[in-house]
Amino acid sequence: MQNIKDITETSHIISISGIIIDVKPTYEFKRKDGTKGYVKTIIVSDITGTIRVALWGQHAKSIKETDVFRLIEINNGYVKKGKFENVEINCFSNTVITLKDIDENEIREFLAPFINIKDISSEQKRVNVQGTIVKINEKRIVKNKNNNEVNLQSFTISDNTAMIRVTCWGDNTKKLVPFKEGDIIEIINAVVKSNDNYEIELLIYSDTVIKRKIGLRSNYGDFVPGTLANVVKKMQDIQTIENIKEGTNAIVQGTIINVVDKSAKLSLYCPQCNARLEKSNQKYICKTHGIVKEPIQDLEIEFIINDGTASLIIAANKRLLAQLINIPPLSKKENLNIASQLYEVLPQLIHLEVEITGLVTLNEHLGHFKMLAQTIEHIQYNDSIRRIIQRTFV
Ligand SMILES: [Zn+2]
């Protein structure tokens, strides 16, 4: 028996043993002589990978959708370059196929391990992931390079180690139809792609399988089973802007609605925690780390976020903002003259959804709160997470 990952175009005739993870409908065609032919595609997985298998003639009729997760042994399959990607196995009349029922534990032995979403990198070509669907975006119709209209639909899944965007093109959008937000799924054989912003995303190809999670198979590696516990805990820590209090450290989430014009000023920050430093007796003091000998000087900008309960002014330095938008390298020595260059790129901040931690201060002259940001994170899942939590706890 051959490992699936070792099969190449030059393998010619091979034998494999694996489990069926997907069965596609039978396709009927007419031969030149007028007789009818049948072909059906299935996806077979072993611990090393997955492969498309084309079943011709009688073989097409002998395997049904109910055979998913049964063990299949293929003897004398013919390897050829696939129509879509990589190689595939063709089973003709002299190929011998046997099927066997196996239990949950045996199924595990034929599935490549699931990877934690945080560990996905552009070095991997294909991955298996599992997690909760936190958001399904509306299906859109876009034009491809050949000017044809194609469907495009994306969704986000989370496995508690991270979240990732998954995109389906064309007919592959149909694979999403059975699922809704909150479902726990497995994606087998997803394609890893880095997009224009160098963010990693996953693509659903014709040989990618999306299934509802089965049984116990979340016990791979350090994968945390698909509960929403961490996300929920975090949501409880997040405060609404109308409820924040002066002098406390808080976490807020909201949408950036405006950048305060001409707010740039130079400030000094703690290199350990990025807190803005207070000057006292010629020394610079961090509330957490005490006297700071080598403070970092940076430009501070103010912008406004709104979370649906109220608006809040955020003071954040340029180093933090560089995590959200591309800030051109301005100058080694920070000074106020470069602030005008900075203002050209700052409008990109508007409409971003962010999570910010920092100290809440009160501007006594104006009577409003200002948060001195220590961390900023770009988020895109605000509403859907809230919906899931409402469904889980209400
Ligand atoms: Zn500090």
User: Within this chain, do residues 164 and 252 fall inside the same structural domain, yes or no?
Assistant: no
Alpha carbon of 278 to ligand 1 centroid (Å): 11
Residue 313 in domain: yes
Q: Is 19 contained in some domain?
A: yes
CA of 349 to the centre of ligand 1 (A): 26
199 and 252 share a domain?
no
Average pLDDT over residues 85-104: 89
Taking the centre of ligand 1 as the mean of its atom positions, its distance from the CA of residue 250, in whole angstroms, is 16
Residues 127 and 178 in one domain: yes
Q: Is the per-residue pLDDT at 358 higher than 60?
A: yes
Ligand 1 center from residue 322 Cα (angstroms): 20
Parent domain of 240: 233-385
- Tell me how far the alpha carbon of residue 216 lies from the centroid of ligand 1, in angstroms: 44
Residue ending a domain, among 224, 246, 272, is 224
What is the structure's pLDDT at 371?
Answer: 95
Distance 390 CA to ligand 1 centre (A): 36
Q: Say whether both 207 and 241 belong to one domain.
A: no
Q: Which residues of 355-387 are buried (b: 16+ CB within 10 A; e: fewer)?
A: bbbbbbeeeeeeeebbbbbbebeeeebbebbee
- Residues 201, 239: one domain? no
The residue ranking higher by pLDDT, 6 or 218, is 6
Per-residue pLDDT at 274 exceeds 70: yes
Among 83, 108, 133, give the residue marking a domain's end. Answer: 108
User: How far is ligand 1, taken at its centre, from the CA of residue 290, in Å?
Assistant: 7
- Output b/e per residue, 135-172; b: 16+ Cβ within 10 A: bbeeeeeeeeeeeeeeebbbbbbbbbbebbbbbbbeeb
Residue 360 reports pLDDT greater than 90 = yes
- Let me know if residue 393 belongs to a domain: no
Residue 91: band (very low, low, confident or very high) from pLDDT cuts 50, 70, 90? very high
The per-residue pLDDT for 326 is 82
Q: Are residues 208 and 121 in the same domain?
A: yes
**pLDDT of the residue at 68:** 86
Let me know whether 47 and 97 are in one domain. Answer: yes
CATH label of the domain that carries residue 162: 2.40.50.140
For residue 214, name the pLDDT band (cuts at 50, 70, 90). Answer: low
User: Checking DSSP bridges between strand 200-204 and strand 184-194, what pairing results, if any?
Assistant: antiparallel
Q: Do 239 and 379 share a domain, yes or no?
A: yes
Interacting residues of 317 by C-beta distance below 8 A, sequence separation 6+: 267, 269, 274, 276, 298, 299, 300, 301, 373
Angle between helices 229-237 and 382-393 in degrees, nearest 10? 110
Q: Do 255 and 182 share a structural domain?
A: no
The CA 262 to ligand 1 mean position distance, Å, reads 27
Distance of CA 61 to the CA centre of its chain: 38
Report for 91-100, 185-194, 197-206, 208-217: range of highest mean pLDDT:
91-100
The reply to whether 54 and 146 lie within a common domain is no
Tell how far the Cα of 273 is from the centroid of ligand 1, in angstroms: 4
* 238 Cα to the center of ligand 1, angstroms: 22
How far apart are the CA of 282 and the centre of ligand 1, in A? Answer: 17
Which of 61-65, 104-108, 199-203, 388-392 has the lowest average pLDDT?
388-392
Average pLDDT of the chain is 83
Contact 314, 356 (CB under 8 A): yes
- Residue 386 has a pLDDT of 52
Q: Tell me how far the alpha carbon of residue 295 lies from the centroid of ligand 1, in angstroms.
A: 10
Identify the pLDDT of residue 168. 94
CA of 248 to the centre of ligand 1 (A): 15
The rounded percent of the chain whose pLDDT value lies above 90 is: 32
Mean pLDDT of 266-288: 89
Same domain membership, residue 100 and residue 123 = no
Q: Which residues pair with 141 in a beta bridge?
A: 151
For residue 91, tell me if it sits in a domain: yes
Distance of CA 287 from the midpoint of ligand 1 (Å)? 7
Percent of the chain with pLDDT over 70: 86
Q: How many domains does the chain have?
A: 3
The pLDDT of 125-151, averaged and rounded, is 88
Indicate the pLDDT class of residue 394, thresholds 50, 70 and 90. very low
- With respect to residue 267, please indicate whether it lies within any of the assigned structural domains: yes
- Domain boundary among the residues 204, 224, 244 is at 224
Query: Which pairing describes strands 163-169 and 200-204: parallel, antiparallel, or unpaired?
Result: parallel
Task: Note whether residue 100 is domain-resident.
Answer: yes
> What is the pLDDT at residue 277?
92
Ligand 1: distance of its center to the CA of 294 in Å? Answer: 11
Q: Do 238 and 365 share a structural domain?
A: yes
Mean pLDDT score, 6-34: 89
Over residues 195-209, the mean pLDDT reads 84
In sign, the C-alpha dihedral spanning 315, 318, 324, 325 is positive
Q: Is the predicted pLDDT of residue 268 greater than 50, yes or no?
A: yes
Band of residue 85 on the pLDDT scale cut at 50, 70, 90: low
Q: Is residue 13 part of a domain?
A: yes
Q: State mean pLDDT over 107-114.
A: 80
The alpha carbon of 245 and the centre of ligand 1 are apart by a number of angstroms equal to 21
